[in-house]
Amino acid sequence: MKKLKILHTLSNDQWGGQERRVYNECRWMQAQGHQITIVTRKGCPLYQKAIDEGWQVFGISFNGISAPFTFFRLLSILKEVSPHVVNTHGNMDAKLALPAARQMKTPCVILSRHITPKVNNTWYNRLLYNRLCDLVFTTADCTTEQVTRDLGLPKHKAHTVSSGIVPPKNLLSRKEERSKLRESLGHPPETRYLGYVGRMDRDKGLSDILEAFFSLRDIFPRHKLVFVGSASEYGDELRMKADNLGLQDRVIFTGYQADPWPYYRAFDVKIIASRSNEGVAQSVLESMYCRCPVIATRIGGLPDVVHNEENGLLVPPCDPDALSLAIRNTLSNTVDTNRRVEAAYKYINASHTITAMGKRVLDLLQEKGL
């Protein structure tokens, strides 16, 4: 395959799973000799990381007020860069970059959808998905199937491209990480942990996790519940709820952690209890790689990777009782838990590394003649 010039647009200004995925993919592509350009909001985390990596980066505003100016700025950037591939990742940037790339006759234009809410069958969405792009990349089979069916996409236009993780070069043992976490928090040697890593938002089902833990507080008295994620208004509500349940000494809020890997290794269980709109969460893939038992809700793209009773456990959303039972089974039935953990590690190592993801993207681009 020839060396490609690949331009990514992203209108979000946060640093979450979507942004990490784009960043990791770009680093892998650069290592294969491809040229990377990033178009995103000036000053956002991805903008700064792109500068640090030495990529070509353009900072522009993506909002409704400046949309006409942004469109013409995108035309100028595309003329300057002349990419072989344009890949859009956000809502606003897709609406502007897709028509701009079409106007500039970019050889391959991709609309990437990282979330799982239904895409409504409107004339505008049919225009975006059918006419203004050559490929649609999703992170979950349920999204691929929905957009293909409801928007009438041609066969093989939409593809599931699952996220690929980039494990750290050196991981301490689970015992060592538990010990380090205990020391950092000032807890006694017998303390154990279960927890959540991700955005502190209401739709993540964090109150369900808290209620499930409350019901198990006397059955597993050594365990503490850890929430790893940036402070938020909802996080404050959750902390208040923990206090009202008398769990102030059993629930820890760490705030944002740049390196979540030690927590995956220290936890006896990683829980993701999303109530809606969940793709294939990076934290789930990373936890499975770390041999941390995973419990997830049967929502969105989670069942694509968490196969119930095989490499993890799935429970219905908004059901603290079912979640409580799954936690209890995981902590009590160590033989079955260890079997699932090993199966999860093998599955992730085979299918969800950044190399597997990158090769899939290149194979799809090659099928388009690049």
pLDDT at 115: 86
Average pLDDT (351-359) is: 93
pTM here? 0.85
Say how many CA atoms lie within 13 Å of 274 toward its Cβ: 22
Mean pLDDT for the chain overall: 94
**What angle in degrees, to the nearest 10, is found between the helix axes of 334-351 and 320-332?**
100
Helix (H, G, I), strand (E, B) or coil at 260: coil
pLDDT at 61: 86
* CATH superfamily of this structure's domain 5-164+353-367: Glycogen Phosphorylase B; (3.40.50.2000)
For 178-209, give one letter per residue: b (16+ CB within 10 A) or e: beebbeeeebeeeebbbbbbbbbeeebbbbbb
Distance CA 323, CA 16 (A): 25
Residue 67: pLDDT over 90: no
Average pLDDT (103-131) is: 95
Going by pLDDT thresholds of 50, 70 and 90, the confidence category of residue 281 is confident
Going by pLDDT thresholds of 50, 70 and 90, the confidence category of residue 283 is very high
Q: Tell me, which fold does domain 174-351 have in CATH? A: Rossmann fold (3.40.50)
Residue 66: pLDDT over 80: no
Residue 287: pLDDT over 90: yes
Helix (H, G, I), strand (E, B) or coil at 251: strand
Going by pLDDT thresholds of 50, 70 and 90, the confidence category of residue 155 is confident
Average pLDDT (56-76) is: 89
Q: 223-228 and 251-255 as β-strands: parallel, antiparallel, unpaired?
A: parallel
Task: Estimate to the nearest angstrom the gap between the alpha carbon of 361 and the chain centroid.
Answer: 17
Distance CA 87, CA 304 (A): 23
Residue 36: pLDDT over 90: yes
Residue 207: pLDDT over 90: yes
pLDDT at 230: 84
Report residue 262 as tokens. Answer: 């030690």
Residue 65: pLDDT over 80: no
Q: Could you tell me where in the chain the CATH 3.40.50.2000 domains are found? A: 5-164+353-367, 174-351
What is the per-residue pLDDT across 335-345, written as a single tens digit (0 to 9) for each?
A: 999 999 999 99
Residue 64: pLDDT over 80: no
Residue whose token pair is 């609406």: 95
Going by pLDDT thresholds of 50, 70 and 90, the confidence category of residue 68 is confident
pLDDT at 204: 94
Q: 192-197 and 158-160 as β-strands: parallel, antiparallel, unpaired?
A: unpaired
